[in-house]
Structures are given as structure tokens and as C-alpha cells.
Copies of this chain bind each other. A is one copy, B any other.
Amino acid sequence: MSAKAISTATADRRQAQLEALIAAAEKRICDSGMHSLKARDLAADIGVALGGLYNIVQDIDALLLLVSSRTLARLGEAAQTATAHLPVSTRAEAIDRLVMVAQTYLTFARENLPLWRMIFELRLDSPLPDWAAQDQLRLFRHIAEPLHAIMPELDTVALTVRARTLFAAVHGIISIGLEERLIAVPAQKLSDEIAWLVRSACRAHA
């Protein structure tokens, strides 16, 4: 083999190991939560020595960021599939699409509960790398696009703030709801109440 072929093979093997490691971390987070994740277990899962693990990722924080990034990418795909084809030509259509974005978020959170929780529980020792920040910010276009059609008078800064307000409000309802806390909106009412809130926020603005 040429030097180039060898280096491509090495890169492929590294990539395959990284994918296996992310998959192993996802499985363990789903089974027993983020806080019980141990490097030693993950190394055993993918059949490398503990030292070998740190040739694949720098540390557990770096791995958790990759897991979080993959979850966010899947959330983005879910939003894209469920809502991007919906029209925003009229105000009513844009409101319907925004409600669908919120309900897609609820469904995703329900179906990916441990991985979804992890994104918000993650506390890093170092600042969020730029690519990870972009992963999060990019998702807001699913809110900002219909919102711009609903509130066309808002400038870019005001629209960004408003998108964050609506996101955090819906996230709060889902987050307390799916934890099934005493004070939660009952699970079977979550979808209706989220739709009510989003529609109210949009309608009052007219």
C-alpha cells in the first residue's frame, strides 16, 4: 500500500472507532444517565485499552459534546422533515408551522429523553467550542423563519430574542412536564397546552 492509502485506512479506522465510541456513550446514557458514564466502561464497550480511548477523544467532556451534537443534528432533521415543507405565505400558515415546530420538539424530547436531558445538564469545564455553539444556534432558524412571517416588524436582534423567549417557554413546559413533577402540566395535556401558548403569543401580537 502507498503511504496515502495507509493514512486513509488509519483515518477510516479512527473514524469507525469514534462512531463506535459515540454509539456506546449514547447507549450508556440511555440506560443509566450521563452521570454514571465511566471511561473504563466505554473502553471495554468498544474493545480498546483505557489509554487507547484517549487517542480517540481528548476526554469525556469532548465525547459528551459529540453525543450532544449528534442529538442536536437529529433534532434538526426531525424539525426539517416535519415542518420545513409547510408554507409561511400567510400569517395563519406561519402560526401553524410554528406550532408544529413546538410539537415536533415535544415528540423528539419524549422519544429521546435521556439524550435530550443530557444537552441541558452538560456542564463543561472549558468554554463551548465554536462548532458546538453553531450547532445550537443553527437550530433556531426553525423558529425564526415562521416567526419572521408572524412578526415582520421585528428587526434581526428583536427576532432573535423573541425566538429564544418562545423556545425557553416551550422548553420549560416540556421539561417540567416530562419530569412528571408534582406541579407539571399533565402528560396528556402537554401538546394542547404548548399549542395554546404558541398560538396565544402569536395572535396577541397581531
How many residues on chain A are close to B (CB under 8 Å)?
34
- Taking CB atoms, residues of chain B closer than 8 Å to A182 are 128, 133, 136-137
Q: Tell me if A205 counts as interface (CB < 8 A to partner B).
A: yes
Partner of A172, one of B175, B184, B201: B175
Q: For the complex, is A116 an interface residue (Cβ under 8 Å from B)?
A: no
Known contacts A133-B182, A182-B137; A171/B176 CB under 8 A: yes
**Which partner residue on chain B sits nearest A171 by CB separation?**
B172
Contacts A168-B172, A172-B175, A177-B168 given; does A161 touch B189 at CB 8 Å: yes
Quickly give the copy total for this chain.
2
A residues apposed to B, CB below 8 Å: 128, 133, 136-137, 140, 161-162, 164-165, 167-173, 175-177, 182-186, 189, 193, 196-197, 199-201, 203-205
A161 touches B136 (CB 8 A): no
CA distance A83 to B176 in the complex (A): 25
CB-CB nearest in chain B for A179: B120
Which of B137, B161, B197, B205 is within 8 Å of A185, CB to CB? Answer: B161
Contacts of A169 in B (CB 8 A): 169-170, 172-173, 197
